[in-house]
Amino acid sequence: MATILVIEDNPANMKLAVMVLGTAGHGAITATDAEAGLTMARDRRPDLILMDVQLPGMDGLTATGILKAARETRGIPVIAMTALAMAGDEERILAAGFDGYVAKPLDYRSLLATITTHLAAAPAGGTAWPPS
């Protein structure tokens, strides 16, 4: 079982993500804005973060940049959840520091597959990531 932080301001998407995680046997911790999510990431060191791109206040791109700039959180895989579907968005999302992304509307199977892939690739606990 992994602990996964979900940062999402839309109640329906949050509910779905938490339900998917629970069904897969993972524990979910949640935040509805980037500032609260950053604090939770530092304090709880989740194994993976699902990050909405469009958040009130600080957006998910900026928040992910902050996570990836800090040694204590840079090893945590961060998956973008984004409704953006235009060509070039994947490049923009990966350039912002995200490890991957899932498209909205969220699909149960693709969300779970993406989480499983990134958990398998990450070091246990999401910490002590060696400098690359």
Footprint of Mn ion (CB under 5 A) = 9, 52, 54
Q: Which is nearer to Mn ion, 54 or 117 (CB)?
A: 54
Cα four-point dihedral sign 66, 67, 72, 74: negative
Is residue 132 within 8 Å of 68, Cβ to Cβ? Answer: no
Nearer of residues 54 and 62 to Mn ion, judged by Cβ: 54
Shortest distance (Å) from residue 88 CB to Mn ion? 20
Output the smallest distance, CB 62 to Mn ion, in A.
Answer: 14
Minimum distance from residue 40 beta carbon to Mn ion (Å) = 17
| C-alpha closest to that of 99 among 85, 119, 83, 84 | 119
Contact 79, 117 (CB under 8 A): no
Of 62 and 117, which has the nearer Cβ to Mn ion? 62
